[in-house]
Structure formats: C-alpha cells, structure tokens
Structure 1
C-alpha cells in the first residue's frame, strides 16, 4: 500500500498476497483484536458446525423410529448457524475494510474507532448483500432450469453424453459462481470506501473488475480450494476420526490447528479483497482522493459528514 497509486496496477496475485500479509504489521494490536473477536468466532463456527450436525444427521439416517425432533433440531441449528455466519462475515468485512482504508489515508487506527464505525458500515454492507443475494437466487434458479432442460433434452440412456453434459453445466456454474463471489467482495469494499452501496456498489464493482476478472477468479478459486481442503481434513480427522481410530487428544490438537489455519486464511482473505480494490482502481487509472476518503471514513465516526463525497478523482491518464 506504500506504492504510488499508478504502480498498484502492476501487482500480480502473489504480490497482492504479500502486500495483504504485510498490512497487519502497521497496526498489530488492532488486527489482533479484530481477529480474536470477529474472525476467530467466524472460523470456529465454520468448522465446528459439522461437529453438531453430524450426530443429528446420523440419527435421522437411522431407519427405525421417528425423526421429527431431530429434524426440528437440525433446522433450528442450521438457521441459527446461517444467521451467525452472515452477521460475523459482514462484521469482519466491515472491520477489516475500514481499518485498511484508514491506514491507506494515514488516519489514526484503533480497535475502538473500528468498533465505532461498524454499525454504519454494517448497514451499507447489509444492503449490498441483499442485492448480491437476489442475484444469487436468480442465478441458482437459472442453473436449476438448465439442469432440468438438460435432463429432458439429453438422452439419459447415453451415460457418457449425459455425464459429460452435466460436467459442462457444472463447470459453467462454478465459473459464474466464482465471478459473482468476486463481484460481491469487491462491491463490499466499494460500499465502505465510496459513497455508494447496494445495487450502485455492485454496478461500480462490475465496472472496475473489467480487465482484472481473471486475477479475481484465481484469488477467489484459490480461497475456495484452501477452505475446502481445511474443511475436508477437519471432517475426516476431527468429526469422523473416531471411526478411523484417531484418539481424542489427536483430534483436539488437529482441530485446534485447523481452526488456527482457517483464521489466518480468512484474515488474509479479507485483507486481499481490500488491496484488490485499490489494484482495480489503479488498473483503470482512477486515482483516489485521500482527503475525501479521510473525510468519508470520518463520517462513520461522527467526525465529519460530507455533503458530497468524491472519493474518485479524475482519471490519471
């Protein structure tokens, strides 16, 4: 982030990771508290979720007896889990993006100031998330429609052709899913550092993502793969470890280690989305008025509420 704005566009995916990892050194106490109070609970919930659902699912799969109470418990737990995941994900995003933007403008950073800004930032992120959620719903409905049409149109007797078609549709689904995820993360940063949110933030992120969509896809897909591997190991060793003669102590140690790894991965992920925003702005030769951004961030703290905030300067070309 110390590079001149016009040089950020030349950062590779590896450079962005290195830059992101170095950011917490500028305010270690603030990032330590953000990690401990927000990112750790989020990461722990993601992994521990299967520990609680596995016994319920096992009971439901039992062919004997009534499973009404188990289904009720599972649905209630899933609902509470999704709400918890949603809240802490937005809170973590708000805290990290605001802190990184403050460091970028040389604004004094502290955990207390970040907490003070979170309520207003959270509202903007929530509206943006609703729009992203709507896009996700439409996109999943369209995908389901394609699958149904595929089953109707393709000769299911030809197993090779049928499975090849399913793979093609799945790959397309994955590509679009990764792109929308990248769009969402970038729109989240836009919602915090610019005076727009919701659909306007999505439209802005769509514009500045042009030319950097491939890099965004690599970063998002890499994050998905790492998280998938961590979840897979946690499920195999911690959740189902008893079936493979893993001791309780070994499972606790491995579980704690994997939670720690996921905490680091999530922290770096939140930092990467912030840095990537500045890279995209630089790629499109859009400077950022640090004074205007400084005032904009101050508005979250009640220091100054600008009548009109112009975060983006004229093109640097």
Structure 2
C-alpha cells in the first residue's frame, strides 16, 4: 500500500469559530497519528474567511504536542513573507522540542491577496517583489542558519557566528514546494526534496515531477530525487455521500477560481441549495474529476492508480469532506471518516 500523509488547511465552516476549527483539526491530527499516517502538514494562508492556517509554526507546535509519532510540518512556509532567520529559529526550536518529527516545507507564493502580502512583507524587511526574486538566496540562508554548527555572517568586515538555536542536535527535514516548474527546477538544482501542489492546480504535475527528476543534482541533504503527490479527498461509505461532502469545498474553490469574495465554508445542506450556471457546473465537475471522491474501495484504487501513474510511493491527502447541519462545531467527523476509510 502507498504511504499516506495529511495536508490540513484548517478549514473554517459557517458554524465554527476559529477556535472550533483549530480544535477540530487537532482531533483530525490525533486520528491520523493513531491510524499510522506518515506526516501531517499545515498550510500558510492569510486573510481568508474559510482558512485558519495562518501561522504554521504555532499550529505545528500544537499538533506535535497533541500527537505521539506522526511527523508534523509546514505545507508550506511562504518564505517571501518572513525573514529567513525568524523561520530558522522557529523550526530549529520545534525540531529541538520534537526531535526527528519536524518537516519544513518552503514555498514562494504569497498565500493571500496583494494587500495582505504587502502587510506581511513590510514586517519581513521589504514591500516589493524583491522578496520573491531573492527566494533562492533566502532558501540558502534559511538552510545555513539552521545548521547545528551555525553560519558565519560578514558584517562590517568581521565574521560573526549566527545560530538559529543555542544547542541543536538535529535539523528539520526541508522540502521545496510549488505549483509551477520554477520550484521543480530550483529543488533539482539544490538537491532538495520536492512536492508539486497537485491538490491545488491538478495540472502540470507530471511535467513538474519529470523536470525535477531529470535535472536533480545530489546534495549533502539528498542523494536521489524524493517527491510525493498531494490530492484532495472526500471518502464516505457511499459514492453519493462522498460527493455530497465534497460539495462545500468545491464551491469554495469555484469562488476562488472565479475571483469572487470568499466566505466561511458552507455546510453540506447549505451548499446543496446553491444553483450553478452551466459554466460554473462545468468547472466544478472538472475539479471533482481530479479529486479522490467516492466509497472506500474505489477511493483506495484511485489513490493507488495516482501513485503508480506519477511514480511515487507516498500520497498526501487534503481531507476536504464537509460537515452536515447539526455537527458539533469543534469537530470534523467527515474529515476523520476520510482518513479512517482510506487507512
């Protein structure tokens, strides 16, 4: 069986507060931990009413503290939003607290709208596109700063030793993330593990992975290419129920792709009342085709098919199953069901 992992955006439903959404995700993480999932990553998104994953290091600390064995990490830290030293300190501290359980996924997208990106990057030392264009340099800086021996920094003609944490014995595992061939090329050049955001775009995955593998240069961190697949999943006891549970997230993605205002994720019954135009339904159907939606046997077969097709031995699931009216707000039973039925 393909190794399974979890990606969590910490979705916020129309019946939830932020605290409810976080508590629900902690329960999902505990379920994943108990079922033997390999890793549990949280995204970084800002100023989105349906997403509470605004601060991966804080969430990682909570999730790692609530679980026992599963690897916990970022999917990912949007590095242009942050000073590399701050990220290095955060993840060095997490690794020191939870040794050999922390992954550091790094991306260069803003994870938000341009106004919020401006607000974030002002605090990171700049408000222009320089933070994006210097992304390769920031990646090098970040990895060097986390080294247990520290890194020498030249200031006013003198070399000063900089350590992300006083007495580390290990470093988190770095991954480069992306949704274009840019990150594939950079990961290959630097000899880093790489993940393409198949769950988000669903297009260009094969080309990006093949580019990464063909251009990979071995490094001190990695001898051979290492990658896996991310996919949205909604699994229930029947195909019909799985499709119903997927609808709220499909409508959220429809709004995102259409440039419409975003709202908290609807409950299943709320989503079913929406009437879509023909072109909107066509887009929803096209997205659903790229997701794993169905009863357990068919969903498992689809996962194995995807893993074989892309030549990976790990698949990271984004459990997108929505909730019905009357669900306890601080829980997410449908997302937990998806993990249980695929384990």
- Interval containing the TM-score (normalised by the shorter chain): under 0.3
Greater strand fraction, Structure 1 or Structure 2? 2
Larger radius of gyration: 1
Which structure shows the higher helix fraction?
1
TM-score, normalised by the number of residues in structure 2: 0.26
Give the TM-score normalised by structure 1: 0.27
Larger RCO (CA under 8 A, 6+ residues apart):
1
